[in-house]
Structure 1
């Protein structure tokens, strides 16, 4: 039997193997193998987070685990639909995941760029504004969900800056990853981006890993007693 202190490391190694395999499959364009590897990514990362933290788990860790569950649903549910329905399923579940991350990160807003170094808000606002400018004219009936998702995603990225550099980097990469999805779906010319799926998944995987590792690096995260003002 694997000792408890070793299990998270083994799970993280498994996650790394799955992530590398999935990205290689993306590069090679082997569509038949793409879905199986993607389905297991977030559950294994969730187990890493769960196995690295003690009980009772604090609010921050519990909400991060919930966000990973909805991220997994966003990864898997579209396979059971097609066209706009599949896209809306993906956006819907990831929207819920982002809302959960917003709720999780909000208590730390006083340490974020909302109150400290406010000039750093400029690139976040500018990035979201340019993304909307490029996508909105071509979104059609999906304009409202796309705008809502962009707003929530930008809020999550901004609030993530209150939890240290790793979580902030994860939030920023999430913004990039989902921006690539929106651009490929709506902006003319972006659907032919070389290895577009690879860039979406590599930034997405890195974002989730950085968020999880950043949360685990917080001094009280493993004991479940972390509090925030």
Structure 2
């Protein structure tokens, strides 16, 4: 009888696998289509349409990998994905500096939600091993030196966003190798945007690399967060 009840409970806790597969497949296809568009038609309708789909599909994947009631960690990650979507979509209705500021503002809010999601676990991050902070600090310093001359009046918001991004990347290490790598890759993605916007440094296929690291970084953070949420629920159930 105990084995039977345990089996029923485990099945009740598992999200619908067919739905999960459909959402993940849709995310992969949309990502592939967008990356191809970045390579061959970066200013076309396909690139715009698929970019707007990416974060909602990733949020759907997070929901499919987690169970109700979703804890604070998952709720805040979903909020971060929502504002990332705002950062993808809103600038398409603007031009020039207002479009850039709208993007930075939306992603800054997303970073605050990521920081809020991760701050409670800070003791598990590299903050307890201060020497491991140097690569993040060095990357931020180099980026600031390269971008400052071309940033002009946008320098202050760029610095604020860069600091928030760095803090998020550092705190993401508490989610383990996958989450920490995701935070570092997300840092790289936005660093490439800064280099494209404020320097003459040119990298072939820049848009492709920005979007590849953007999706991969957030997907890795989201997956690691869903695994942490499942572990916490399992621990609570065992108690």
TM-score, normalised via structure 1 length? 0.92
Gap change, CA 1:54 and 1:153, over 3 Å in 2? same
Structure 1 or 2, whichever has the larger Rg, is 2
- Greater relative contact order, per chain length (Cα 8 Å cut-off, separation 6+): 1
Using the TM superposition, name which of 165-174 and 192-201 deviates more. 192-201
**Aligned residue pairs, count:** 221
Match of 1:53 in 2: 66
2:228 alignment partner, SS class: coil
Q: CA-to-partner distance for each residue in 1:25-60, whole Å, 9 max, x for gaps?
A: 111135222100001010011011112211111000
Match of 1:184 in 2: 196
TM-score, normalised via structure 2 length? 0.88
Q: How much does 1:8 deviate?
A: 1.4
List structure 1 runs of 4+ shifted beyond 3 angstroms: 221-226
- Once residues 224 and 196 of structure 1 are traced to their aligned partners in structure 2, the CA distance between those partners, rounded to angstroms, is 42
Match of 2:185 in 1: 173
Gap change, CA 1:224 and 1:147, over 3 Å in 2? farther
- Once residues 118 and 103 of structure 1 are traced to their aligned partners in structure 2, the CA distance between those partners, rounded to angstroms, is 21
- Once residues 100 and 27 of structure 1 are traced to their aligned partners in structure 2, the CA distance between those partners, rounded to angstroms, is 31
Q: How much does 1:223 deviate?
A: 4.2
Structure 2 alignment gaps of length 5 or more: 1-14
Match of 1:100 in 2: 113
Q: How much does 1:16 deviate?
A: 0.3
Q: Is the 8 A contact 1:54 1:222 kept in 2?
A: no
